Amino acid sequence: MKFNIIIIVLILTGCKQKDNSLALFSDVIPNQYEKNVHEMDIASSQAIDIAVDKNPLVDKIKISSWVDSISFVQLSSSDNALIGSINKLIKKSNDIYILDRYKTKSLKKFSINGEFITDIGRFGEAPGEYQEPTDFIVNDSLIIVYDQFASRFNYYTLDGNFQYSKKLPFLCLRFKQVSENNFIFYTQDADNQHLSSIENYSIFQTDSNFVIKERCFYRERDKYTSIINDYNFVDINNRLYCHPSFSGKIYEILNDGKYALKINLNFGKHQLPEEYLLKENWNDFKNESAKDRYSFFLGEYLITNDVLYFSYTQQHEAVRCFYSFKDKKFERSSIMVNDILPIFPFANFIGVDGNTLVSYVFPSDIIAIRDNYSSSEWYKMVGEKAFEITKQLKNEDNPFIVWYHLKKQ
């Protein structure tokens, strides 16, 4: 699939909210929520600058040079446990919470061994139900699910029992609770024209009553081409990062109400000029995305204490990169070989757990490859352990959660 086609699909994400916004916020009184809004301060920091283009593109990377070991669990495939996709995963103690945002529109709780425990709410319009579960968090005693369609927080116990709801006076895409009385919201290009203080801002902070206190990342609404994904605003190891669309800059939103540039990915002469992101230059953008002149950083990145992993698109191929914070070792390649457990592609990353990268793979993807080989050929190719794992898989089975434990740098 051409890169520009992918962009079109991603730009359309979130259009549904615009059709619903006027009715949602007809009763919102702006001065109740915009009493004293000010700009979030920039913290002084020493950003890590990575000259991507100055490092050679190697033929392939064996993940064993960066990964110490792999562990995995297959989620239960009982009828009430089935999911169609994984959009967000949170591991809390010995439990795993998985959000399927669009296919089953569900939030499910599993044990660390993959056993299904319970649903957290369900699709519907009754109290405790949601129509579009867009994001969620898990704290020590409560789960908060954001229903974008209704612009509402639903609160549940860790066992999934509904407690109460709160209506939000604005739309958002992602959120984080930084303290009992503070939330941070990400709302790139959301339809918040009824609140002028945040209409052109991507991030803002509120108290528990959603009174807006601070804002940052000015972005004039409807002026730029957008790409929306889960890496624009992501909580990694309890640190909150923000990545503006197509930029090589990764910022951290700090708990003291400031933000700082942490990583700058420098693509040199292949950096996409900002003027191509103006909507008035949309045709030029499409033409450039079909060529090989620029690198497109869509925003996939994972940060551990030791390593940065990220990917970008160049010449219509995904280039995956590792960078060691300690010794500044850098490797990039369009081919990543899982020479530890080859049935799991090094892809579909959904988070970080300490010094471990977390991903998933659906059995149907493994079966599609397995069935191209005879049993003996498959055994020879993947080895005894992988052969035993895959021989009983069914297309309709739930996915594997895979942990890539990185080597200590």
* Domain coverage including residue 334: 3-406
Q: pTM for the complete prediction?
A: 0.91
The helix (run of H) or strand (run of E) holding residue 10 is helix 3-11
Q: How many domains does the chain have?
A: 1
Sign of the Cα torsion 120, 124, 125, 130 reads positive
CA-based nearest residue to 229, from 177, 296, 290, 298: 298
pLDDT at position 20, please? Answer: 57
Q: What is the mean pLDDT of each run of 10 residues along the chain (409 residues)?
A: 38 45 86 95 92 94 96 96 96 95 96 97 94 95 96 96 97 94 89 92 96 94 82 92 91 91 94 89 86 87 95 90 96 95 94 95 95 94 92 94 93
Sign of the Cα torsion 292, 297, 301, 307 reads positive
pLDDT at position 255, please? Answer: 82
State the burial class of residue 71 (Cβ atoms within 10 Å of its Cβ: 0-12, 13-18, 19+). exposed
For the chain, the 3-state helix, strand and coil shares in percent, each to the nearest 5, are: 20, 40, 45
CA-based nearest residue to 310, from 259, 264, 365, 268: 264
CB-CB contact of 209 with 265 (8 Å): no
CA distance 57 to 385: 32
- 3-state class (DSSP) for residue 161: coil
CB-CB contact of 60 with 375 (8 Å): no
CATH number where 175 lies: 2.120.10.30
